[in-house]
Amino acid sequence: MSTAMLVPLATGNALTIGLFLAVVAVTLYITFWASRQSKTAADYYAGGRSFSGFQNGLAVSGDYMSAASFLGISGAIALYGYDGFLYSIGFLVAWLVALLLIAELLRNSGRFTMADQLAYRMRQTPVRTAAATSTIVVSIFYLLAQMVGAGSLVGLLLGVTSPALKNLVIVGVGVLMIIYVTFGGMKGTTWVQIVKAVMLMTGTVLITFLVLVKFGFNLSNLLGSAAEKSGKGEAFLQPGLLYGKDLVGKFDFLSLALALVLGTAGLPHILIRFYTTPTSQAARKSVLWAIGLIGGFYLMTLVLGFGAAALVDTAKGSQIQTSAGNAASPLLAQAVGGGEGTLGGSVLLALISAVAFATILAVVAGLTLTSASSVAHDLYANVFKKGQASERSELRVARIAAFGIGAIAILLAIPAQRLNIAFLVALAFAVAASANLPALLYNLFWKRFNTMGATFSIYGGLIMAVLLVTFSPVVSGTPMSLFPSANFDWFPLRNPGLISIPFGFLCGIVGTLISKETHSAERYDELSVRALTGAGAEKAVTH
């Protein structure tokens, strides 16, 4: 049994490679189709604001459900049982912040980037510089996670172990994402997300159904078999296998939970998706669809995770263990399809692998576009050119920036392969919650808030989050750290959120109160009218 599992997943390799190439072909076709349709800045940055609530809901889900959720969460459940499920709960509940406080107001009061909404009533240069900095930092952390994931995942799925080939995969993914973003812009990227979301939901529903059939649609039976097979018994279904083993661990979990629930509504690549809809009502609808789709998806990962624990070997030395759980979903697909060596098993394995690959491509495209937009629209057009740049030159800079960011991501991802993917994603969430969310919320709900408050909260939250991680056990002090032999781990928590999020909010208050600027407060009523009614908001492009 265990020797069979140790054999690389090479069976059905030709089929897997064929499906991968099909995914690449379809996405490239979409990209070139979209590039012929994109003419104006609103087309490039916001897909012409012409996507319906349902379409954008699918695209938001496609942007949000990264390989870290698809492979990571089901893998964590397969290895740690109930505790693996906790990630998904934070990831879902977080959408209420976006729905209730951010999505519609942002759609009405901004244009292309996160910074637009702050720049309405603040002094543009400092605020846009700050917001662009945190946009790029958050996106790069997130991007690295996806690309490192792509390298190890494709390596795993195709049975490739050589580091040179893994690097080649990373370079390949990087080149693809540069093409998507440079040519397709937001329109192409959005359609790539939509296709990916449909593929991901279909694949997940199929495997979930097949797992449930095996257990007679009885959740309790599934949990029982998983607990028994895991060798951990009852404990597998209870809190505590992964988080909160001691007091530091308990606070670490609290910190993670806070970062997850507050991070989503501060992720720049999610925020700019709301600009692709024609009205704030459509933006609201897209969040409602996203909540339904993402919620349904995470409920299914519960079945996938426990299903993998019950049906696939998860013992020490098994492929699920050595891949830190990432192989759980693909191996489960193989098992419910009939097992290794069977036609059904190979087909399902290839299918789920292709879904995972499409997932990575779509998410990296979204992130690259976000950073490129911020460089071109915030830094070039407004900070550097003071709003006097022509649309053509701005779009040219956006394309160059997409190329540059793609190149940087490739160069960083190759050495970053030592880093843990989940850590990079959690760090992106922590920075988003500490740096971006306070500024966005204060801007919408606090009249007195001003330029200095905005820059203080963005830089304060950003610097605190990054510093705390640098001095945490993630970077040094333990055998699992980035620098295992060094010891500068004086901050005990692995996730900085518990300290850095309140710190970001506090910096916003301090900065606001020490500044004498009153201009921004005078514009608060205008911003409120725009945000709540959509009066004067950007309209959809009609060609």
Residue by residue, what is the 3-state secondary structure of 104-143? HHHHHHCCCCHHHHHHCCCCHHHHHHHHHHHHHHHHHHHH
Q: How far is the CB of 108 from another protein (least distance, A)?
A: 9
Q: Would you say 68 or 444 has its CB closer to another protein?
A: 444
- Residues that bind another protein in the complex, under the rule CB under 8 A: 82, 85-86, 89-90, 92-93, 95-97, 99-101, 104, 116, 119-125, 219-221, 223-224, 227, 234, 237-240, 243-244, 250, 253-254, 257, 261, 280-281, 284, 287-288, 291-292, 295, 298-299, 386-388, 519-520, 523, 525-530, 532-536
> What is the DSSP-derived secondary structure letter of residue 483?
B
Residue by residue, what is the 3-state secondary structure of 242-287? CCCCCHHHHHHHHHHHHHHHHHHHHCHHHHHHHHHCCCHHHHHHHH
Burial class (CB in 10 A: 0-12, 13-18, 19+), 33: middle
Q: How far is the CB of 447 from another protein (least distance, A)?
A: 11
- Amino acid identity, position 384: F
- Amino acid identity, position 351: L
Q: How far is the CB of 260 from another protein (least distance, A)?
A: 10
Q: How far is the CB of 275 from another protein (least distance, A)?
A: 14
Q: How far is the CB of 125 from another protein (least distance, A)?
A: 5
Q: Identify whether the C-beta of residue 255 lies closer than 8 Å to the C-beta of residue 493.
A: yes
Q: Would you say 295 or 338 has its CB closer to another protein?
A: 295
HSE of 133 in the Cβ direction (CA atoms, 13 Å)? 18
3-class state of residue 476 by DSSP: strand
Q: How far is the CB of 534 from another protein (least distance, A)?
A: 5
Q: Identify whether the C-beta of residue 82 lies closer than 8 Å to the C-beta of residue 237.
A: yes
Closest CA relative to residue 262, chosen from 515, 30, 497: 497
Q: Identify whether the C-beta of residue 512 lies closer than 8 Å to the C-beta of residue 455.
A: no
Q: Would you say 322 or 525 has its CB closer to another protein?
A: 525
Q: How far is the CB of 215 from another protein (least distance, A)?
A: 11
Q: How far is the CB of 110 from another protein (least distance, A)?
A: 9
Q: Would you say 340 or 517 has its CB closer to another protein?
A: 517
Q: How far is the CB of 451 from another protein (least distance, A)?
A: 9
Q: How far is the CB of 377 from another protein (least distance, A)?
A: 11
CB within 8 Å of 20: residues ≥ 6 apart? 154, 353, 354, 357
Q: Would you say 388 or 485 has its CB closer to another protein?
A: 388
Q: How far is the CB of 194 from another protein (least distance, A)?
A: 21
Q: Would you say 173 or 271 has its CB closer to another protein?
A: 271
Question: What does each C-alpha distance from 326 to 78, 153, 187, 346, 422 come to in angstroms?
Answer: 10, 8, 31, 18, 11
Q: Would you say 256 or 356 has its CB closer to another protein?
A: 256
Q: Would you say 323 or 382 has its CB closer to another protein?
A: 382
Q: Identify whether the C-beta of residue 347 lies closer than 8 Å to the C-beta of residue 16.
A: no
Q: How far is the CB of 117 from another protein (least distance, A)?
A: 9
Helix axes 13-37, 185-214, angle to 10 degrees: 150
CA distance 376 to 378: 6
CA distance 110 to 105: 9
Q: Would you say 191 or 274 has its CB closer to another protein?
A: 274
In the chain, what is the greatest distance between 2 CA atoms, to the nearest angstrom?
72
CA distance 298 to 370: 25
Q: Would you say 3 or 542 has its CB closer to another protein?
A: 542
Q: Would you say 253 or 505 has its CB closer to another protein?
A: 253
Q: Identify whether the C-beta of residue 520 lies closer than 8 Å to the C-beta of residue 124.
A: no
The C-alpha angle 379, 515, 125, rounded to 5 degrees, equals 10
For 490-523, letters b (16+ CB in 10 Å) and e give ebebbbbbbbbbebbbbbbbebbeebeeeebeee
Q: Identify whether the C-beta of residue 409 lies closer than 8 Å to the C-beta of residue 146.
A: no
Q: How far is the CB of 85 from another protein (least distance, A)?
A: 6
Q: Would you say 291 or 355 has its CB closer to another protein?
A: 291
